[in-house]
Amino acid sequence: MGILDFLLGEFIDVIHWTDDTRDTMVWRFEREDHEIKYGAKLTVREGQAAVFVHEGQLADVFTPGLYMLETNNMPILTTLNHWDHGFQSPFKSEIYFVNTTRFTDLKWGTKNPVITRDPEFGPVRIRAFGTYSIRVTDAAKFLSEIVGTDGEFTMDEISFQIRNIIVQEFSRVIAKSGIPVLDMAANTADLGKLVAAEISTTLESYGVTMPELYIENISLPPAVEEALDKRTSMGVVGDLGKYTQFQAAEALARADSGAGNAMATGMGAGLGMQMAGQMATQRGPWGAAPATVAPPPPPVEKVWHVAVGGKTEGPFSRASMGRKAVDGSLTRETLVWAAGQDGWKTADEVVELAQLFTVMPPPPPGA
């Protein structure tokens, strides 16, 4: 290296940082013995901030732009160091570049279920997960509170702590919200804003903020979800009696004419009736007893009136008419009448009474 290159290197020092890792939050500019020359050029790009640390003390924070490290634009540093020898006396300082862009698509989730009191189901355990974004807003505070002297600080080093804060605030917001579990899916956007607002105070002390927090899913334990599925199925079925009749009709339509198919159909219908009886007698999942179904009224027995000697006798039941037919007071030519019958008819013309004469024993031998 020639003498001119050496002198130019002594006069000009270019300090800048380009990042292609997409997860680095802070990077320290490495210089041998941390010597920064007087008049060095500092380039701070958009989405960056540069924190100048001189002899262990935070001297200044530079926003995006091009700077010459001289006494006229570094008043704080001037009070910390005397510039007596120009470039011949470089000062011991460090420059930390802080990424101020948003770090997006960061994952969070509840490691263990969160217990909350639901107004409909009582105490329930829920899980949730989603994504969030984070951004450094106060580079000096972030450097002093979180980074320290770390030469390369990545998002992974703070994400675990932020996830713990999110889960803690999420549990508290869910417990205070009073929103039923079945309605949480419709309120995930509002819940996300509430959680982000509660977290902002804690993150502000770190020098960062959370622009967005999304709740992608809120789920219940598998056993509870299975019970909800059964309850939904019962609601879809509706009238259990009609559903049983429909199932029996479907089974009959599928069955062919055979003893095995007929037996399967009978068993299916019997199981359906048994299920209907059990569902009618057991209590519902919320302690409400279903209404009891009254049995149908007994059928009304048919009676007859008999015309004897121009007078009406009766009414007589079928059993009484049978006894009359035995003792001979009721013959095939006897006029009878019953409700719904079109006028008087002989007993032989009424089907129910004509059968009484067909079952009578024949006359004994020799009569």
217 and 112 inside one domain = yes
| Residue 365 structure tokens | 């031998």
Domain end (from 71, 99, 127): 99
Q: Is residue 278 part of a domain?
A: no
> Percentage of the chain surpassing pLDDT 90?
20
Boundary residue ending a domain (180, 202, 223): 223
Residue-level pLDDT at 137: 94
pLDDT above 70: percentage of residues in the chain: 73
Q: How confident is the model at residue 50 (pLDDT cuts 50, 70, 90)?
A: very high
**CA 100 to mean position of chain CA atoms:** 35
**pTM confidence score:** 0.56
In angstroms, the CA 225 to CA 158 distance is 35
The answer to whether residue 231 is domain-embedded is no
Q: Which domain holds residue 330?
A: 304-358
Q: Same domain for 108 and 219?
A: yes
Domain count, the chain: 3
Is 75 in the same domain as 120? no
- pLDDT (tens digit, 9 = 90+) per residue, 172-227? 888 888 788 888 878 888 888 888 888 888 899 999 999 999 999 888 888 877 87
pLDDT surpasses 80 at 112: yes
Question: Considering the domain boundaries, does residue 292 fall inside one?
Answer: no
In a domain, 263, yes or no: no
Task: Indicate whether 252 belongs to any domain.
Answer: no
Q: Residue 53: its pLDDT value, please?
A: 87
Under a CB-based contact definition with an 8 Å cutoff, are residues 305 and 336 in contact?
yes
92, 128: one domain:
no
CATH number of the domain within which 138 lies: 3.30.479.30
Domain membership flag for residue 135 = yes
Cα–Cα distance for residue pair 65/41, rounded to 1 Å: 10
Q: Which amino acid is at 172?
A: R
**Is residue 186 located within the same domain as residue 109?**
yes
Task: Say which residue, 45 or 177, is predicted with more confidence.
Answer: 45
Contacts for 364 with CB less than 8 Å, ≥ 6 apart: none
User: Does residue 293 lie within any of the structural domains?
Assistant: no
Are 19 and 39 in the same domain?
Answer: yes
Query: How many Cα atoms occupy the beta-carbon half-sphere of 144 within 13 Å?
Result: 15
Measured between alpha carbons, how far is 301 from 318 in angstroms, rounded to an integer?
Answer: 9
Do 93 and 112 lie in a common domain?
no
Residues 154 and 215 in one domain: yes
Last residue of a domain, one of 153, 188, 223: 223
Going by the DSSP 8-state scheme, the letter that residue 73 receives in this structure is G
Same domain, 95 and 107: no
